[in-house]
A and B are shown apart, each in its own frame.
Chain A
């Protein structure tokens, strides 16, 4: 087999690692983001949420990954504690850093969507006597989801690309495999181009999926041909 075919197969074989990291981070960060938005609604917990967002949005993801993988490993309680089997794994460390970092961005997206809900929609829910949870479940959440989706989708696309940073702590994702191939072939441009093509396919698929969801959520009256 020629060089391109073998390299392409190697990169494709690494897609599951990239996707696993992406999906796990997307789920983790979305859940935390939801919690952050909830925390921002109370005067007592708001400072905690804001500090979290300030720190994780204000520092580079690469640095956060390094700190979790190299930094925490140097701490005794982590090194000798029961969590060590997890913190020993670079994939877990990359997931943890990405989850924390992206949760800050997604929380801001959700908060923006929450404030963008027309006041009248919530007043109508209040006026008919809906309680807190009913209001949240029947009116606020569905409206928030719809308003957040375009920017949330943007975050998800960014996240797919950010997974490549995991290769810096020895995770063999698509970028990690590409670097490995380059290390013994020195064919930098060709290999990175192939890797870029693999990412393009993934983001294109995600974008298409998001567009479908967006269309299905938009009320018929607002749909443009």
Chain B
């Protein structure tokens, strides 16, 4: 078996004494599409944000295609990373798509897409621009290169954000509720795009409330509850007759 793209072990995190993550282990291999489901406050988003260290876990190890950024603890026991190079390298292997898109509002669509390749990975600008145009075509946004994020609809912004995430050809893509801030009629265009990415063999971790999408597109479904993985498995099992009663209760709480 090949080495996993992502290997997270024993991730814990508490906010102000309240334990949000109580030790989560998760591996993802190349081409895996892992949907992370769970109620609000279950810790699923916090877990995703721990993986690229936007949220600093209290303990645990994260390895992404062989790169690690070990946590160190100060005298109060507060965790941090004192190797900014390793931290940057780890994050540069990932890309995140946010609930609120977070396109840089002072940059055009094109500049948003080329920023990371040019300023983080050192790709020549001409090459990054060429790739950006190809990505815009892929996400159905040809002709919008010179637009500003504020001129776009939510769905369009999220598709640009996905193009931005693809620009560095990341080993791991993290989606943090990518459709939760969209109008219902815009959700589909983003989900269709994500389905296409899954079909290309992208390694994706998706925190979502879109059950039908998770069931249809994922290779694995993970149910997070009270800061631990309550159950996980392929969708056929998770949504099948032998599913965990707790997960079934989450799906239909009646």
Interface positions of A (Cβ within 8 A of B): 118, 120-121, 123-132, 134, 138-139, 142-143, 146, 217, 219-222
Candidates A125, A130, A134, A221; contact of B151 at CB < 8 Å: A221
Q: How many contacts between A and B, using CB within 8 angstroms?
A: 85
A128 near B116: Cβ-Cβ < 8 Å: yes
Q: Which residues of B contact A132 (CB under 8 A)?
A: 84
Q: A138-B115, A143-B106, A219-B105 are in contact. Are A128 and B168 (CB under 8 A)?
A: yes
* Separation of A219 and B150 alpha carbons in the complex (Å): 8
21 A–B contacts, CB within 8 A, in A order: A118-B102, A120-B102, A123-B96, A123-B102, A124-B103, A126-B52, A126-B54, A127-B91, A127-B96, A127-B98, A128-B115, A128-B120, A128-B168, A130-B88, A134-B120, A138-B119, A219-B149, A219-B150, A221-B147, A222-B148, A222-B150
* Separation of A138 and B116 alpha carbons in the complex (Å): 10
B105 near A121: Cβ-Cβ < 8 Å: yes
Which residue of the partner chain A has the closest CB to B101? Answer: A120
* Chain B residues within 8 Å of chain A by Cβ, number: 33
Q: Which residues of B contact A143 (CB under 8 A)?
A: 104-106
Q: Which residues of B contact A222 (CB under 8 A)?
A: 105, 148, 150
Q: B12 contacts the other chain (Cβ, under 8 Å)?
A: no
Q: A220-B151, A221-B150, A221-B151 are in contact. Are A129 and B120 (CB under 8 A)?
A: yes
Q: Which residues of B contact A123 (CB under 8 A)?
A: 54, 96, 98, 102
Q: A126-B54, A128-B91, A128-B168 are in contact. Are A134 and B119 (CB under 8 A)?
A: yes
A148 nearest CB across to chain B (Å): 13
Additional 6 contacts, C-beta under 8 A, given A124-B103, A131-B84, A143-B105:
A127-B98, A128-B92, A146-B106, A219-B106, A219-B149, A221-B149
